[in-house]
Structure 1
Amino acid sequence: MPDLSGLTVLIAGASSTSGLAATRALVGAGARVVAVGRSADRLAEVSGAGAEIEVFDLTDAGAVDALAAKVGPVDGILHLVGGWRGGGGLAGQTDDDFDVLAQSLTALRHVTRSFDEGLRASPAARVAIVSSTAVARPLAGGANYAAVKAASEAWTRAVAQGFAKAARDAGEPLAAASVVFRVKALAGLEDTLAQAYVGLWDAPAAEVNDTIVELS
């Protein structure tokens, strides 16, 4: 396990089994963990695992700016905001379902923008999202879900390009990486995800930046 002492990692949407697993892995590696969600009650377990908890609505751009000002620069973001709505074929892909699913993309956009400067200044920044194999194999009954995940992957890859460009412009080695983890289903893979995310610090940024990693 890499030594993450002195690094601060923000887990967005941390009040899940995956958030708890990631908190334990990151704290075990020595990182300061900031766990963010909408409910203090639902974040209680990650607090008990050693995370600092922050209650913010990540779909609110102003709130995320306030979060960034409060927390300060971070060296990593693990984006776990998500969920599933679908079924019913293409005709069953409602606007209401899409709007709920799109909150994950909105939160991703806000968090990566607000913390971008600090990430680029970090000596070893790692950003990662959890996406789905549905992006490569979309189904009619999950079209909303696959579309949002595809857009989230595009945004995450744009973050990767921004990291690479900033390093080139500064004439410095790449120190930051942005990665997509794809799963078919996350249930049962929570610890695998946590270890894979922590393991990103074991590899040079140039090797993992703008990569898609399938977890199974």
Structure 2
Amino acid sequence: MTENVNGNGGPLEGAVIAVAGAAGPAGRAVLLRLAEAGATVVGADADAERLAEAVDAARYAHGGATVTGDTVDLLDPAATREWADKTEQEFGRVDGVVHLVGGWRGSSDFASTDLADWALLEKLLIRTVQHTSLAFHEALKRSDRGRYVLVSQSGAAKPTEGNAAYAASKAAAEAWTLALADSFRKAGGDEGPKAAAAILVIKALVHDAMRAERPNAKFAGFTDVKDLADAIAGVWQQPAQEVNGQRLWLTPKP
């Protein structure tokens, strides 16, 4: 294991974790949480300005933490692989990928579904999972604690008529991630997997700015981005055999 440049003795000390879609509210929370836990964190996003702000916030909050950002088009498989290779070459290892690339489109009912929504969501919610998982697959297998963490949504298990494109995209991303988990299972052989692919299932996310905008809203069943970040960090605290191929529910099952 490479020397931890953070040196704070946290539970993820020495780990190198890539975060795809790091510039949004969830990404900011995850960068902060992983840095706090001692990981070297490498964020990627298509929005360079917002990514720089998220990286700076994590660095400022945890002095001495190594948090970097790369502007990457995750819809480009070659660019994604280049990011993965660069990360492993620079830091000597990759111990995790957290997939936070999101997006939503919906309609009032099934008949009103616009297939242009599917065209967009297929790129954001499926292609980025495909590209990141394929790009980092071998590095995660080489790690002694590799984790691939997908954040999914409860609608994938029980779609509503106005969310056909979104739910189908999420379901496809889950299936892809479970196939990755099977790869890790087979690679582990009789000793069990060293790496794991897990799915965290939420209803929706909420953060402080949303609460400030809607002070009377209850956000029932929503997961705070800080709680999501805690759950993501916790995936490394569980044995690979226990989390590999599992859906870990952060909201009641529908």
CA distance in 2, matches of 1:35, 1:201: 18
Q: Which amino acid aligns with 1:150?
A: A
CA distance in 1, matches of 2:131, 2:103: 18
CA distance in 1, matches of 2:153, 2:249: 9
CA distance in 1, matches of 2:27, 2:140: 20
CA distance in 2, matches of 1:14, 1:142: 25
Alignment: residue pair count = 214
What CA RMSD, in Å, does the superposition of the two structures yield over aligned residues? 1.4
Offset, 1:172: 4.2
Question: Which of 194, 197, 202 is residue 229 of structure 2 equivalent to?
Answer: 194
Q: Kindly report which structure 2 residues correspond to 1:4-153, keeping only aligned pairs within 5 A, or say none.
A: 4-48=12-56, 49-50=58-59, 51-72=67-88, 73-103=93-123, 104-153=125-174
Larger radius of gyration: 2
Offset, 1:135: 1.2
Is the 1:10–1:77 Cα contact (8 Å) retained in structure 2?
A: yes
- Once the two structures are superposed, residues 144-182 of structure 1 have per-residue CA deviations (whole angstroms, 9 ceiling, x without a partner) of 0000000000011111110010111xx544211111111
CA distance in 2, matches of 1:204, 1:183: 22
Is the 1:2–1:202 Cα contact (8 Å) retained in structure 2?
A: no
Q: Match of 1:131, SS? A: strand
Q: Which has the higher contact order (CA 8 A, sep 6+)?
A: 1
Q: Which amino acid aligns with 2:170?
A: K
CA distance in 1, matches of 2:159, 2:150: 18
**Worse-superposed segment, 65-74 or 196-205:** 65-74
Q: Give structure 1 regions of 4+ aligned residues with deviation exceeding 4 angstroms.
A: none
Q: Match of 2:182, SS? A: helix
Stretches of structure 2 that go unaligned for 5 or more consecutive residues are: 1-8, 60-66, 208-223
Partner of 1:204: 239
1:175 aligns with 2:177: no
Q: Which amino acid aligns with 2:40?
A: R
CA distance in 2, matches of 1:187, 1:84: 15
Offset, 1:88: 2.6
* TM-score for both structures, normalised by structure 2: 0.81
- Once the two structures are superposed, residues 84-138 of structure 1 have per-residue CA deviations (whole angstroms, 9 ceiling, x without a partner) of 1001312222121111111221011011101100101100011111111101210
CA distance in 1, matches of 2:160, 2:86: 41
Is the 2:149–2:232 Cα contact (8 Å) retained in structure 1?
A: yes
